[in-house]
Structure 1
Amino acid sequence: MELNFYPILASGIITLLAGFVWYHPKVFGTIWMREAGLTQEELSKGNMLKIFGLTYIYSLLIGFMMMPIVIHQFGAMGMIGGGAPGIVQPESFVKFMSEYGTAYRTFKHGAFHGFLTGFLLVLPLIAINGLFERKSWKYILITGGYWVLSLTIIGSVICGLS
């Protein structure tokens, strides 16, 4: 199984596009700004090239991490061995991949695992930080909801296109 970089590259764009919609003033942007204690003027003073550039880079890291979460064959590769290009693969790996190499490799299955990752891992992390930072539940749910949505789409794209 070769690594497909295109879905990972897309994951960086997905977080930016999802954020553009999610944090739009007509969706959750106005509420989020109020709950975060920010104004439009304060937000416009940020270095957007730096913010968007680092967001894209960090989102690539998320895409790399989502790959073994949404593609079950990565776990099998670790157990059976194999998968490295240019190396003679063990017979067990070749047989396994010929039989199960495309099992559960759908957009729907990736979306399911992306949603679970967002809802059961990322949302609780954001909630814990938000509680200690004395953020409101609106802030926690808006921020957490953004990541649940983003990871659902990223999981879908990575699993469906890899």
Structure 2
Amino acid sequence: MEINFLALITAAFSTLFVGFAWYHPKIFGTIWMKEAGLTEDKMKGSNMVMIFGMAVLYAFLISMTLQFLTIHQWGAVSMVGGNIALAKPSYAAFMSDYGTVFRTFKHGMLHGFITGLFMALPVIGTNALFERKSWKYTLINGGFWIVCFTIMGGIICAWI
């Protein structure tokens, strides 16, 4: 299997669109700023090009991992050690039978949602506990990543 970098980049950029809506003042932006201890003045002094650039880079790294969690066929590739040229004939037969099975947006969304719920939310929740942040902060940021992982998983899994 080949890595579809265009799908991964698209999935990474999708987090910006979700973030623009999610953290909009009329949705969760005002509450998030309050819970994060931020003010308009603190936000103005930021290097937004660097922040958004790093956000996309981090989202790209997440998308690299999500492809292995949303596309089942990567499991077959890992079973042969990643070197398809050395794979036994059973690998080719498996991929012939199941090469595109469960490669839908809906299926990718399911795996993205599960990953967000059971990986992203606990990580954010743990950090929030030690940072003494509120449950609102945890749910806003955790919810953001659950939605992002869900959309990213759908994009990655469906883009054959």
The equivalences for 1:1-162 within 5 A come to 1-80=1-80, 84=84, 87=85, 90-162=88-160
Instruction: Return the offset for 1:90.
Output: 3.4
Gaps of 5+ in 2: none
CA contact (8 A) 1:22 1:29 kept: yes
**Distance in structure 2 (CA, Å) of the matches to 1:82 and 1:41:** 50
**Distance in structure 2 (CA, Å) of the matches to 1:142 and 1:100:** 38
Runs of 4+ in 1 over 2 A off after TM superposition: 80-84, 87-90
Count of residue pairs the alignment pairs up: 160
Instruction: Give the percent of matched residue pairs that are identical in Structure 1 and Structure 2.
Output: 51
**Distance in structure 2 (CA, Å) of the matches to 1:49 and 1:145:** 24
**Distance in structure 1 (CA, Å) of the matches to 2:48 and 2:58:** 15
Instruction: Return the offset for 1:73.
Output: 0.6
**Distance in structure 1 (CA, Å) of the matches to 2:12 and 2:133:** 27
Note the alpha carbon deviations across 1:38-63, whole angstroms, 9 max, x for none: 11121121000100111111111111
Gaps of 5+ in 1: none
CA contact (8 A) 1:81 1:90 kept: no
Instruction: Return the offset for 1:79.
Output: 1.4
Q: How well do the aligned residues superpose, as a CA RMSD in angstroms?
A: 1.4
Instruction: Return the offset for 1:36.
Output: 0.6
Instruction: Return the offset for 1:71.
Output: 0.4
